[in-house]
């Protein structure tokens, strides 16, 4: 294997950590950019900057994916491993948007492809696993994995809530619904304001219950949900949103158990001086 190949794929090479630091930075930056893109004012004022960040990130992720695929001993097998699929998913939605396929012309499909980009956050898990294998301090390694898992769950859950519930009262959905309502209204009748409905229960979603208007707004809900026993000042009102909330609560409990385990082991070392094995 060449020096470049080892730097891109071999965790024991001195250049590998630097490359993974670059990949990690752009994973975090692209996820933050994806979230901020859903804030209307920011999307309008910084559209070109978000676009540059997205395509620079995609270029970095593409190089990383192709390097892993090219230098893998079993290329086809790697493509269908969990890490290979995650690497592919991290770049595929962006290329689909670039191709401007006919199937993506629908608003809902396009929005799904856009939010699917958040799955690139799972690349952080692979980076954490490879880096912690060489980490001498297992406490630091466990804390890295915990915070990466916490960030991943927060990003995916917030994006899912924004798509499942917030999509129903997005500006595009409200405008399309109002146009359809106006088109079917009888002549001379008083204008009626469009109210979005939950597609599963059929219940209307009033204006004062439309909380998930952006991913950052959903992040606040997600943090409160994962770290407490209630929703706080925001809560889902649709059946789909409640399903996402239930899964988020369960994952919050799992993460809390992981954190307690890490804290427990740390206290054993600090208070009693017990040595921790690297494989624990």
Task: For 23-78, write each residue's pLDDT tens digit.
Answer: 989 999 999 999 999 998 998 899 999 999 999 999 999 999 998 888 887 777 88
- Look up residue 254 and give its two tokens: 């799992």
* pLDDT tens-digit readout, 76-93: 788 888 888 888 888 988
Element holding 164 (H helix, E strand): helix 138-164
pLDDT band at 280 (very low <50, low <70, confident <90, very high): very low
Per-position DSSP letters for 227-279, written without gaps between them: HSSS-TT----SHHHHHHHHHHHHHHHHHHHHHHHHHHHHHHHHHH-PPPPTT
Identical fold, 3-134 and 168-272: no
User: What pLDDT is stored for residue 58 in this prediction?
Assistant: 92
Average of per-residue pLDDT across 173-195:
82
Rounded distance, CA 148 to CA 137, Å?
17
Per-position DSSP letters for 165-204, written without gaps between them: TGGGGSHHHHHHHHHHHHHHSPTTPPP-----B-TTT--B
User: What pLDDT is stored for residue 276 in this prediction?
Assistant: 47
User: What pLDDT is stored for residue 143 in this prediction?
Assistant: 81
Contact between 156 and 226 (Cβ < 8 Å): no
- Asked if the model's pLDDT at residue 202 lies above 70, the reply is yes
Backbone angles phi, psi at 10, to 5 degrees: -100, 110
Of the given ranges (6-15, 97-106, 174-183), which has the lowest mean pLDDT? Answer: 97-106
32: exposed, middle or buried (Cβ count in 10 Å: 0-12, 13-18, 19+):
middle
Rounded distance, CA 34 to CA 26, Å?
12
* pLDDT tens-digit readout, 122-156: 888 877 766 665 556 667 777 888 888 899 999 99
- Asked if the model's pLDDT at residue 21 lies above 80, the reply is yes
pTM for the whole structure = 0.82
Backbone angles phi, psi at 20, to 5 degrees: -65, -30
The C-alpha angle 111, 113, 118, rounded to 5 degrees, equals 100
Top-level class of domain 168-272: mainly alpha
Dihedral angle sign, alpha carbons of residues 255, 256, 260, 266: positive
Given CATH 3.40.640.10, say whether it is the number of domain 3-134.
Answer: no
Show me where the domains of the chain are located: 3-134, 168-272
The share of the chain scoring above pLDDT 90, in percent, equals 30
pLDDT band at 239 (very low <50, low <70, confident <90, very high): very high
């Amino acid at each position: 294997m060449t020096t470049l190949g080892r730097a891109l794929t071999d965790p024991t090479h001195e250049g590998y950590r630097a490359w993974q630091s670059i990949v990690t930075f752009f994973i975090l930056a692209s996820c933050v950019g994806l979230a901020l893109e859903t804030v209307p004012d920011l999307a309008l004022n910084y559209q070109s900057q978000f676009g540059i960040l997205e395509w620079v990130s995609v270029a970095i992720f593409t190089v990383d994916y192709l390097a892993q695929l090219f230098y893998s001993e079993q290329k086809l097998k790697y493509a269908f491993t969990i890490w290979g699929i995650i690497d592919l998913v991290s770049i595929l939605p962006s290329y689909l948007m670039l191709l401007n396929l006919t199937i993506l012309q629908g608003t809902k499909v396009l929005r799904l492809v856009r939010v699917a980009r958040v799955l690139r956050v799972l690349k952080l898990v692979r980076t954490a696993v490879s880096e912690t294998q060489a980490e001498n301090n297992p406490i630091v390694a466990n804390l890295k994995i915990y915070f990466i898992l916490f960030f991943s769950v927060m990003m995916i859950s917030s994006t899912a809530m924004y798509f499942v519930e917030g999509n129903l009262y997005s500006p595009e959905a409200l405008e399309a619904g109002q146009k359809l309502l106006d088109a079917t209204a009888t002549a001379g009748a008083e204008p009626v304001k469009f109210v979005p409905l939950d597609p599963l229960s059929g219940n209307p979603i009033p204006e004062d219950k439309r909380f998930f208007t952006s991913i950052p707004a959903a992040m606040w809900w997600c943090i409160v949900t994962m770290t407490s026993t209630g929703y706080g000042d925001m809560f889902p009102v649709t059946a789909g949103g409640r399903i996402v909330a239930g899964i988020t609560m369960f994952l919050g409990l799992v993460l809390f158990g992981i954190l307690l385990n890490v804290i427990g082991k740390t206290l054993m070392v600090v208070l009693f001086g017990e040595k921790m094995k690297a494989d624990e």
